[in-house]
Amino acid sequence: MAAPKGLFDIRRVIGGLFLVYGVILTVVGLLDGAQAVQKAEGVRINLWAGIAMLVVGGVFLLWERLRPLDAPAPSSDDAE
């Protein structure tokens, strides 16, 4: 029985992890207090890192959708 195309595509795993951590960082960045922003020299670093991770995760998943991996053709050795 053959596995569906792209079932174990690592791009899906990496993209999904980037999206999950990106959502977490974005929420934390939105809820950061003034002290956390001041500690980061006025930059909402969690927010910007979260947005960047969401973009990277989206690119990985888009790449996986637009360029799916082809399953290798069965060779004559597999039949034996």
What is the Cα–Cα distance from 18 to 62, expressed in whole angstroms? Answer: 13
What is the Cα–Cα distance from 16 to 66, expressed in whole angstroms? Answer: 16
What's the confidence (pLDDT) of residue 67?
Answer: 85
What is the Cα–Cα distance from 67 to 12, expressed in whole angstroms? Answer: 12
Looking at per-residue pLDDT, the higher value among 40 and 79 belongs to: 40
Residue 67 per-residue DSSP state: S
What is the value of pTM for the model shown?
0.77
Q: Please answer whether residues 64 and 9 qualify as being in contact, where contact means their C-beta atoms are separated by less than 8 angstroms.
A: yes
What's the confidence (pLDDT) of residue 23?
Answer: 98
